[in-house]
A and B are shown apart, each in its own frame.
Chain A
C-alpha cells in the first residue's frame, strides 16, 4: 500500500460525483491513463514457451476510449490482465496513471468488468454494486446512496433487491458495469463484457456504456471480438495480430465524442468507412467485397 492510499480512500468515502477529474492531484492528471512500453508476456508450457505478447507499445490518454481487437490468441485479454495487475509481464514496463499496476490496483484506480458478469449469487443486486465500496470501508449510508444512484444510471433502480439469478444476462452485465463504476474510477477495464449477449441487447448496452462514459469522463480499455462494437464505442481501435501477439495497427475512429454518438451512427457512411478500415487492418489486405455491413469477427 503506497503512502497516497489513505488520501485517495478518504476522498472516495463520501457519495462521489460520477463526473470529475481523477483524484484531482496534479501528478495523476498529467500522466496518461495507461502507458505500455515494450511489454511482453511468455507462458511456459510443456511444449516450450508460448509468447502471448511481444514488444507491445500503447498509450491510453486520460478520458480516452481504446478498444483492443484481434483474432483469438492475440493476447488482448492478456494485455488487459497485465494492466489490471492480475498478471505480471515477463518484459517491458507498464504504468497506470504514472504508477506501477500493483500500486494502481491497491489505490483502486480502475474499475473492471469481465465477459461473465461475475455477480456474487448470494448478494442482492444492490449489495453486489456496493461490494467494492464495502470492501474499501465506505460507510453504510454513503454506500446505499451510491448504489441507488448507479442502479438508476443503468436503469435498474427497480431491481435493487432482486437476486442476480432473477435478472437476464444483459441486466446482469449492466449491474456489473454499475459495480465497476462504483468508486468513480478514472479508468475502466473491460474484457469482452458484452460477448455473451444477444445482438439486440448488445447494441442497447453499448449505447448505454457510451452515455455512462460521457458522464464519468473515464478512460476505457475495451477488449472485443466485434469490429462494429469497437468502432461504435472507441476513439481509437488497436488491431492486434496473433502468435506472437503484437499491435499491428492503431486505427483512429474520430466519430465524435461519446456523448454525440447515437444509434443513428450505426447507419452512417463514416461508420462503415471506419469498420472497413479496421477490417482491412485485421486481415492485412483489402477484402474482395467493399461492404462491411454487419461484420462481426467472432
Chain B
C-alpha cells in the first residue's frame, strides 16, 4: 500500500518535471524540420506553466460579476459527465452480460450474434452520434420525452458493452467439465447451473472487462457530448474553452484535468468492485 502511494506520487512528480523541463529547454516555436513540426511548441499559449493553470482554476470562469470559480464549474461539469457515463456503463454492462448469456445458452445465438458484436465496434462514433440523437428525438411515450443526455448515455453504453459481452462469454464458458458434470449429476437445470457455477466462475474474466467498459464509457460520454452538442458536460467544456485558448491559454486545461479525474473515479469504482468480489477471484483448484 505504502509502496503504491510512493510510486503513484513519483509518477505525478515525474510528469510535472517532464512538462516544465520541456517548456524550459525546448524553443518557443518547437522544432521544425523541413517545414514539419517534429517537437511541439513550448510557448505560453501552447504549454502554459502548471502554476498558471492552477491559478486560473482558482479564478472565476468569466469576468462577469458573481461568476463561479473555474474549478467549481469544472467540478460540476465533471460530475455531470460522470453521471451520464455511469448510466451508460450500467446499461452497457447489463446488455453485455445479457448478450453473453444468450450466446452461452444457445450455440446458434453465438454464431449469429458474435460477428455483429465485433462489427458494431467498427462503426465510427462520430457517425453514430447524430443518428442516435435523431432517432431518440422521435421517441415520445406519454410524459416521457427523449433527452439529449440519454443519447450520450446510449453512445457510452454502445462502447461499454463490447468488452463485457466478449469477456463474459469467455467467463461463462470457463467452468471445468468436471464442475458442469457435477451440477448435471445433481439434476439441476440451466438457471441453477448458471447462478451457482457459470456466473461465479466468470468473475475473473468479467472484472477486467468491466474496467475496460468503464474507461470506454467515459471516453464515449466525453466524445458524444461534443458530437451531439450536449451542454453541461466536460467534453463540451473542453471544446468551448479551447476556442478561446489564444486569449486565455490556461483555462482549457482545467476541464482537461477534470476529464482525467472522471476517468480516475471510474477506475476507482472498478477497483472497489473488484475488492467486493475478491473471493471469486481465486484461481481454480484441481
Instruction: Establish whether residues B185 and A106, one from each chain, have CB atoms under 8 Å apart when the complex forms.
Output: no
When distances are taken between beta carbons in the complex, the residues of chain A under 8 Å from B122 are none
Which residues on A sit within 8 Å (CB–CB) of B286?
116-117, 169, 172, 196
- Beta-carbon contact of A120 and B179 below 8 Å: yes
Interface string of B175-192 (1 = CB under 8 A from A): 010110111111110001
Neighbouring A residues of B179 by C-beta, 8 Å: 118, 120
Contact B285 A164 (CB under 8 A): yes
| Contact flags A126-143 to B (C-beta < 8 A → 1, else 0) | 000001100110000000
Name A127-174 residues within 8 Å CB distance of B.
Answer: 131-132, 135-136, 163-165, 169, 172
The answer, yes or no, to whether B197 is at the interface (CB within 8 Å) is: yes
SS of A interface (majority) = loop
Contact string against A for B residues 256-286, beta-carbon threshold 8 Å, 1 for contact and 0 otherwise: 0000000000000000000000011011111
A135 touches B188 (CB 8 A): yes
Interface residue B196 (Cβ < 8 Å from any Cβ of A): yes
Q: Does B200 contact A (CB under 8 A)?
A: yes
- Is B185 in contact with A112, judged by CB distance below 8 angstroms? yes
Is A121 a contact partner of B188 (Cβ separation < 8 A)? Answer: no
CA distance A132 to B285 in the complex (A): 19
Across-interface contacts of B285 in A (CB, < 8 A) = 117, 119, 121, 164-165, 172
Residues of A within 8 A of B197 (CB): 120
Tell whether, in the assembled complex, residue A132 and residue B186 are in contact, meaning their CB atoms are under 8 Å apart: yes
Let me know if A135 and B178 touch, CB within 8 A: no
| Residue from the list B196, B280, B282 in contact with A131, Cβ < 8 A | B196
User: How far apart sit A114 and B183, CA to CA, in the bound complex (Å)?
Assistant: 13
A163 to B284, CA, bound (A): 11
> In the complex, which residue of chain B has the Cβ closest to the Cβ of A116?
B178
| 5 A-B contacts (beta carbon < 8 Å) | A105-B184, A118-B179, A118-B182, A122-B280, A172-B285
A residues at B contact (CB < 8 Å): 81, 84-86, 105-108, 110, 112, 114, 116-122, 131-132, 135-136, 163-165, 169, 172, 196
10 additional A-B pairs beyond A86-B185, A121-B284, A165-B282, beta carbons within 8 Å, are A84-B185, A85-B184, A112-B181, A114-B178, A114-B182, A117-B285, A120-B200, A122-B200, A163-B282, A165-B283
State the B residues within 8 Å of A (CB): 176, 178-179, 181-188, 192, 196-197, 200, 203, 279-280, 282-286
